[in-house]
Structures are given as C-alpha cells and as structure tokens.
Amino acid sequence: MIICKSAAEIEKLRRSGKLVREVLEETRERVRPGVTTLDLESFVERRLAQSGARPAFKGYRGYPCCLCASVNDQIVHGIPSDLRLNEGDIISLDLGVIIDGYYGDAAVTVPVGEISEPLQRLLRVTEESLHLAIDQVRLGNRLGDISSVVEEHVVSNGFSVVREFVGHGIGRQLHEEPQIPNFGLPGYGPVLKEGMVFAIEPMVNVGGSAMRILDDHWTAVTADGTCSAHFEHMVAVTRNGPDVLTRL
Ligand code: MF3
Ligand code: CO
C-alpha cells in the first residue's frame, strides 16, 4: 500500500528534507583533494548531533555510518573510510535523517577539483534525468512515467541505468512502497495520488549496467569499473504539481 501524507505530514518531511540538503551542501564544500571519506563522515556526524536530528542510515540493516560516500566506480552505499579523494574523482554523498519520526533522504554527486569532460557529462545527464523524473510527479500520471523518462534520457545519452537499486516511497519509514525503478514503461504502474511522497534516485553508469557488491557487503561498484553517478530528491504529489521537499 502506498501511504498518502497529510499537508501537516508533508511539512514534517520538508523539515527533514531541508536539513538533509543543508548538510549535503556543507559537506560538498569540504570535498577536495586530500580529504578522506571518513573526514566527511566525521563532519556529518557532528553536524547532525548539533542539529538534534538522528542519522537515518546508521544502524539501518547494520550500516555503520551516517553518510554513504561512493567514489568513482562505486555506485552507492560506499562506507566512509581512509580512502583519500584525488583531483578528478567524483563522489556521491547520500544522507538520511529522522526528525520527529519523519525521514529525509537525498543525494548529490560532486566533482573533486577539476574533472574530465566525460565525467562532467555523466553528472549533468544524471541530474537532468532526475529533474525530468520530478516533472512527471503529477496527479493522474503513473509510476512508469517517472521511471521511463529517466531510462530514456540516460540511454539516449549513451549511459546505462542501474537496475538492482531503486527509488522508494518515504515517510515514517525510510523505505516505503512503491519501489521506483530507473527504467520502465510510460502508462504503467500505480496512478499518482495527492500526498504520495517519493525519493527518486537515478544511478547512472558510464559503461554497462551490471554491478557487484564488495566484500564489505555494502559497497556497490560497476562490474566494468566505469564511473557511476547518483542524485536523489524527495518529491510530494500535490494539486499544484511536484513539490520538491529536499530543496533549500
Ligand atoms: N538513499 C539510499 C536509499 O534510499 C541510502 C540507503 S543507505 C542505508 O536506500 F544504509 F541506509 F541502507
Ligand atoms: Co533513498
């Protein structure tokens, strides 16, 4: 069942979403060559403690950190470590929080210093696919309309979408129904209703869509070693069109 949220609940989700975006922005300012992903985790941990919000990922199915920090060929769920960022890398920062029982979840992929033109294009196309998806979050549309525009934009630009991980409903749980794949057919799936809230998160690879999980049981990497990008926003279905809750 897809849970529809009241206007008051959407305001609570906006509060969580806004904090996630603020902390992601502050974290991105700390991304530069020489910094380790654990440095970024330490910052996030302190920042959340000050804010009074709880980290949503730490302890979730045993995940050990507040932040997922996924570098280059890491698709998602990179565990912060002593891995040092280098000029030309890309890093996905994915963060979840809980305030007053309501979850916030968002992600952004950022360059480390100067990056190559192909990687700039990867980031641009992935973020564009998210914005095209957000534009489909309209009353009466179907879930497949969201999924299909992501796949179409990514594939027509010569990249591929990851199929093993999906976006999700979000509210009093981090992962609620429905699952939101980054591939699918327009006109299929559940009809979008007022008060539904989605975390939409395209994961896009330069090369093939195949992936594997590292021995840490978390880090997803591309099978062919090519780079991967990831952007995520929370979006509510309203009578006035898409309402992005993870915006400043
Ligand atoms: N944004 C991701 C998701 O929605 C992050 C989950 S990380 C985990 O699934 F540690 F919480 F699993
Ligand atoms: Co998510």
DSSP string, 39-65: HHHHHHHHHHHHHTPEESSTTGGG---
- Closest Cα to residue 84, out of 75, 71, 95, 93? 71
Helices 7-28 and 37-51: angle between axes, nearest 10 degrees: 140
> Counting atoms of ligand 1 from 1, which one is nearest the CA of 94?
1
> Counting atoms of ligand 1 from 1, which one is nearest the CA of 106?
1
- Calculate the alpha carbon distances from 197 to 11, 139, 174, 216 in Å: 12, 12, 11, 31
HSE value, Cβ hemisphere, 13 Å, CA-based, for 62: 3
96 phi and psi angles, rounded to 5 deg: -130, 145
pTM (two decimals): 0.98
Per-residue pLDDT of the chain (248 residues; tens, 9 = 90+): 999 999 999 999 999 999 999 999 999 999 999 999 999 999 999 999 999 999 999 999 999 999 999 999 999 999 999 999 999 999 999 999 999 999 999 999 999 999 999 999 999 999 999 999 999 999 999 999 999 999 999 999 999 999 999 999 999 999 999 999 999 999 999 999 999 999 999 999 999 999 999 999 999 999 999 999 999 999 999 999 999 999 98
Rama region for 178: left / alpha / beta (φ>0; ψ in -120 to 50; rest): beta
- Under 8 Å between Cβ of 121 and 204: no
Residue 138, both tokens: 């309209």
Pocket of ligand 1 (CB under 6 A): 57, 60-61, 63, 68, 77, 94, 105, 107, 168, 199, 201, 232
- Calculate the alpha carbon distances from 155 to 98, 134, 203, 205, 246 in Å: 35, 18, 12, 10, 26
Domains of the chain: residue spans and CATH:
7-244 (3.90.230.10)
Ligand (nearest to CA of 57): 1
Q: Which amino acid is at 190?
A: P
